[in-house]
Amino acid sequence: MDEFQEILQDFLVESFELIEQLDQDLVELESRPDDLDLLNRIFRVAHTIKGASSFLNFDVLTHLTHHMENLLNMARHGDLVIDADVMDVILESIDLMKALLVRIRDSGEDSGLEVNPCVARLDAVANGTSLGETVPAPAAAPSTPAPEPKPAVAAVSEEEPDYSGMSDAEVEAEIERLIAVRQAEDAAKRANSAKSSTPSAEEEPDYSGMSDEEVEAEIERLIAVRQAEDAAKRSNKAQEPEPVAPAASAPVPVTPPAAPKSEPAPVAKAAPAPKKVEAKDDGENRGGSAVEQTIRVDVKRLDHLMNLIGELVLGKNRLIKINDDVEERYEGEAFLEELNQVVSIVSLVTTDLQIAVMKTRMLPIGKVFNKFPRMIRDLSRELNKKIELEITGEETELDKSIVEEIGDPLVHIIRNSCDHGIETPEVRLAAGKEEGGTIQLKAYHEGNHIVIQIIDDGKGLDADMLKSKSIEKNIITEKEADTMSEKEAFGLIFRPGFSTAAQVTSVSGRGVGMDVVKTNIEKLNGMIDIDSEVGQGTSMKLKIPLTLAIIQALLVGVQEEYYAIPLASVLETVRISKDEIYTVESRSVMRLRDEVLSLVHIGDIFEVERVFDNSEHAYVVVLGLAESKIGLIVDSLVGQEEIVIKSLGEYLKGIEGIAGATIRGDGGVTLIVDVAALMQMAKSVKSTVGQESAEAKGRGGAKTSPTDYCVMIVDDSKTDRTIMRKALEPMGITLVEATDGVEALNILKQGDHNFDGMLVDIEMPRMDGYTLAAEIKKYNKYKNLPLIAVTSRTGKADRMRGVESGMVEYITKPYSPEYLMNVVKRNIKFNEGL
């Protein structure tokens, strides 16, 4: 069973690979119907799949591929001209074949899909054309694949293998095979001597309707098949069923093994043994593709490797950080040089290793592009347009996970270009353009990104039309439409529910497709840029980071927190002054060159308590994702760092606005901003830019008793603190003591008390009164907190410095308790009535 599973797996992998190439070849074939190489290649795919599937007992698939093979074989011999109609049938059968393979992959069996109509069409095409032409007599045989012995014999004799080159085992296998074939033929001959079976009946022998003789024949036949299979298995266990070299075919119109039940297994499986070398040579000559040394690796292993590299990158970051610290501390020491060298080697190797592993995960984007020629062909027939597809840069590589995600968006964009972009031939001619439209599909690298460009020379996007359609569908208001730039209007096509098509067709018009594009591109941290000119065409540019696991990030600071923003989403950073922020309909905006950019403060998104007063200037990080833009206000820009995305784990997953976390060089955890979610959140967050003192205003609160007032005493001398405490205690207010500036600042930061005033000594260890005052004033919340200097310094310069640092009163020691009390009362607005 396991062995069977293994073979099945190999079969599926191989078949899907073959089919991928097949689509491309078929479309090419239509333009070059007489290209024999191409035909042979296609024929071989059908043949290979047929052979393998019959070996694996997938009867339905065998049945279908067998008929395909017939048809292709006729074309190969020039008995059939491939035109568009024939191609339609072939393509249909290939789709069906794909569906069957998918079914086999998912459920392990190939039943449940109706192949007979398609088979009938295949036959009809084969018959129709072959009958209409002068064809050698036996040409009709392929269309009636009854188990006739003649073609079978032909098939065998035609493939007379070269026995001299065989090993003993192979010879033995071959002998067994021949016996089996002979037996099967005899059986078939006996069973069919009297009657001519119809094409559809031949597949599933109806045992009930058989005579004794027939049943016996059938049993014999089955035994023969089993023997033949065994023989084939033995001789071919590890070998993949190579296609029979077509060049060897005799002038007889060979429809390879015509008796489907008995023949395919032995022929397809056993024949390769002697033929293999030849077939291979053939392949080399034809394709000219050098034999690459490859090895299949489970993606999971690569993922694991990538994770390990991620850890290594984090370790490297830490090492660099430590190296910097050490360098600072032990400047000029001899060992530094050595350490430096080691660190740079480790970091160099890590980077190389990372690139190397990334490369192993890279796939050429051609894997995705391959399916488009076929799609364009189908679409242009369906829409009655003439559309050419030009593909460039299909060898451009990008990460496997991205290749998998990029397919769907591209399908939607190209469908859109075909349906809405390219006009019908009449319209094009009327507009003075060539009759056929062109869609260009380009891929190229740009820095750490891959750019995929889809350019059509169709009618282009009309910004005004987009706006009016959007208003019609209630996607935007008229007011919004008025302020929209052309680019923003183009962005409307990504809104869910938007569609310009007057009616829903099978191709488009549901208003879903472009929304899918946006969502998928956002998922990849990519950007979309649309350019369009009415009448000239549309260009859509998708910019996608090369890899997802290890990314470059911009680190920003807000208050005392740091966040990492994927650099792929950062367009630019600007430093602006507060005056440049305008408020429009309670939203903050700024003017960035000729655009109006809406702004949001990172602190509002992530609920950061804003205690520091931001200075007159702000940093704005302009974020771009898919087609939208936003300005994120941060307190500081820290720099760029390579980060590894780690999940927050099951417990904290799915937190809005956070894509994950990373570990920084200092060992701390920094959260990674989810730019797509942030843009969503920005819409609902109430802007507090420019109204930061709101909290300070509310600070006073309602005071209902003297204990609600709170004053801090900061003095390094216990005696002085006691004197002040004694002087203020009669008021009944809450008093908190601190022994120096640092401690006072910590108490403030903790926020356990809401202070109404502070008495500050100037001369203190660790942090003096002036510095303390300056520090406190940095906090937005305490901007208006009355600071009263209590000091023995009486010089005028001292007083001036006090005022400069933000002290409101200056009390010189010694003082009377009453005086101190009065000053405090006045400054904290003490309500005597309480």
Report the residue number, 38 or 738, with the smaller CB distance to another protein: 738
Q: Which residues contact 796 (CB under 8 A, 6 or more apart)?
A: none
Q: Provide the minimum distance between the beta carbon of 695 and another protein in the complex, in angstroms, as a whole number.
A: 18
Report the residue number, 457 or 674, with the smaller CB distance to another protein: 674
Q: Provide the minimum distance between the beta carbon of 311 and another protein in the complex, in angstroms, as a whole number.
A: 6
Q: Provide the minimum distance between the beta carbon of 610 and another protein in the complex, in angstroms, as a whole number.
A: 13
Report the residue number, 285 or 750, with the smaller CB distance to another protein: 750
Report the residue number, 451 or 672, with the smaller CB distance to another protein: 672
Query: Taking the alpha carbons of 99, 100, 101, 103 in that order, is the dihedral positive or negative?
Result: positive
Per-residue interface string for the shown chain with another protein, residues 9-38, x marking contact by CB under 8 A: ------------------------------
Asked if residues 492 and 466 have their Cβ atoms less than 8 Å apart, the reply is yes
Q: Which residues contact 164 (CB under 8 A, 6 or more apart)?
A: none
Asked if residues 548 and 600 have their Cβ atoms less than 8 Å apart, the reply is no
Q: What's the CA gap between 469 and 476, in Å, rounded?
A: 9
Figure out which of the listed residues 667, 700, 732, 765 binds another protein, where binding follows CB under 8 A. 667
Cα–Cα separations (whole angstroms), residue 812 to 57, 65, 790, 796, 819: 103, 103, 6, 12, 11
Binding of another protein by 652 (CB under 8 A): yes
Figure out which of the listed residues 527, 634, 658, 728 binds another protein, where binding follows CB under 8 A. 658
Angle at 244 between CA 240 and CA 247, to 5 degrees: 145
The catalytically annotated residue of 40, 317, 323, 416 is 416
Binding of another protein by 465 (CB under 8 A): no
Q: Provide the minimum distance between the beta carbon of 681 and another protein in the complex, in angstroms, as a whole number.
A: 9
Task: Tell me the three-class secondary structure of 294-307, residue by residue.
Answer: CCCCCHHHHHHHHH
CB atoms within 10 A of CB 119: 23
Report the residue number, 241 or 310, with the smaller CB distance to another protein: 310
Q: Provide the minimum distance between the beta carbon of 752 and another protein in the complex, in angstroms, as a whole number.
A: 9
Q: Which residues contact 513 (CB under 8 A, 6 or more apart)?
A: 412, 415, 416
Binding of another protein by 717 (CB under 8 A): no
Among 576, 571, 626, smallest CA distance to 601 is for 576
Asked if residues 454 and 440 have their Cβ atoms less than 8 Å apart, the reply is yes
Q: To the nearest 10°, report the CA torsion of 90, 95, 96, 98.
A: 130
Q: What's the CA gap between 542 and 549, in Å, rounded?
A: 19
Figure out which of the listed residues 193, 577, 583, 647 binds another protein, where binding follows CB under 8 A. 647
Per-residue interface string for the shown chain with another protein, residues 728-767, x marking contact by CB under 8 A: ----------------------x-----------------
Figure out which of the listed residues 99, 648, 710, 811 binds another protein, where binding follows CB under 8 A. 648
Binding of another protein by 665 (CB under 8 A): no
Buried b (16+ CB within 10 A) or exposed e, 34-67: eebebbbbbbbbbbbbbbbbbbbebbbbbbbbbb
Q: Which of residues 773-802 bind another protein (CB under 8 A)?
A: none
Figure out which of the listed residues 670, 687, 791, 805 binds another protein, where binding follows CB under 8 A. 670
Q: What's the CA gap between 59 and 307, in Å, rounded?
A: 44
Report the residue number, 454 or 658, with the smaller CB distance to another protein: 658
Q: Provide the minimum distance between the beta carbon of 744 and another protein in the complex, in angstroms, as a whole number.
A: 16
Report the residue number, 318 or 473, with the smaller CB distance to another protein: 318
Per-residue interface string for the shown chain with another protein, residues 591-620, x marking contact by CB under 8 A: --------------xxxx------------
Q: What's the CA gap between 375 and 23, in Å, rounded?
A: 9
Query: Taking the alpha carbons of 108, 111, 114, 119 in that order, is the dihedral positive or negative?
Result: positive
Binding of another protein by 669 (CB under 8 A): yes
Binding of another protein by 651 (CB under 8 A): yes
Binding residues for another protein, how many (CB under 8 A)?
A: 26
Binding of another protein by 646 (CB under 8 A): yes
Report the residue number, 314 or 398, with the smaller CB distance to another protein: 314
Report the residue number, 123 or 674, with the smaller CB distance to another protein: 674
Task: Locate 431 and state its tokens.
Answer: 């507009």
Q: Provide the minimum distance between the beta carbon of 680 and another protein in the complex, in angstroms, as a whole number.
A: 13
Q: For strands 669-673 and 710-714, give the pairing.
A: unpaired
Report the residue number, 472 or 607, with the smaller CB distance to another protein: 607
Stretch that binds another protein, among 40-48, 144-152, 422-430, 668-676 (CB under 8 A): 668-676
The catalytically annotated residue of 30, 69, 423, 522 is 69
Report the residue number, 667 or 732, with the smaller CB distance to another protein: 667
Question: H/E element holding 563?
Answer: strand 561-566
Binding of another protein by 655 (CB under 8 A): yes
Q: Which of residues 546-565 bind another protein (CB under 8 A)?
A: 561
DSSP secondary structure letter of residue 671: E
The catalytically annotated residue of 40, 47, 775, 827 is 47
Binding of another protein by 649 (CB under 8 A): yes
Report the residue number, 314 or 452, with the smaller CB distance to another protein: 314
CB atoms within 10 A of CB 471: 15
Figure out which of the listed residues 34, 284, 311, 434 binds another protein, where binding follows CB under 8 A. 311
Name the 3-class secondary structure at 238: coil
Figure out which of the listed residues 85, 213, 390, 656 binds another protein, where binding follows CB under 8 A. 656
Is position 69 annotated as part of the catalytic site? yes
CB atoms within 10 A of CB 316: 21
Asked if residues 113 and 224 have their Cβ atoms less than 8 Å apart, the reply is no
Among 256, 257, 255, smallest CA distance to 127 is for 255
Backbone φ and ψ of 446, nearest 5°:
-145, 100
Q: To the nearest 10°, report the CA torsion of 507, 393, 644, 618.
A: -80
Q: Which residues contact 179 (CB under 8 A, 6 or more apart)?
A: 227
Q: What's the CA gap between 182 and 107, in Å, rounded?
A: 35
Cα–Cα separations (whole angstroms), residue 86 to 27, 90, 97, 144, 406: 12, 6, 17, 18, 32
Binding of another protein by 350 (CB under 8 A): no
Q: Which residues contact 632 (CB under 8 A, 6 or more apart)?
A: 556, 565, 599, 600, 601, 602, 620, 621, 622, 623, 678
Report the residue number, 353 or 516, with the smaller CB distance to another protein: 353
Q: Which residues contact 225 (CB under 8 A, 6 or more apart)?
A: 180, 184, 261, 262, 265, 266
Figure out which of the listed residues 217, 232, 306, 314 binds another protein, where binding follows CB under 8 A. 314
Half-sphere exposure of 553 (CA within 13 A, CB side): 28
Binding of another protein by 427 (CB under 8 A): no
Q: Provide the minimum distance between the beta carbon of 533 and another protein in the complex, in angstroms, as a whole number.
A: 44
Binding of another protein by 581 (CB under 8 A): no
Q: Give the footprint of another protein on this chain (CB under 8 A).
A: 311, 314, 561, 605-608, 646-652, 655-658, 661, 663, 667-671, 750
What positions carry a catalytic annotation? 47, 69, 416
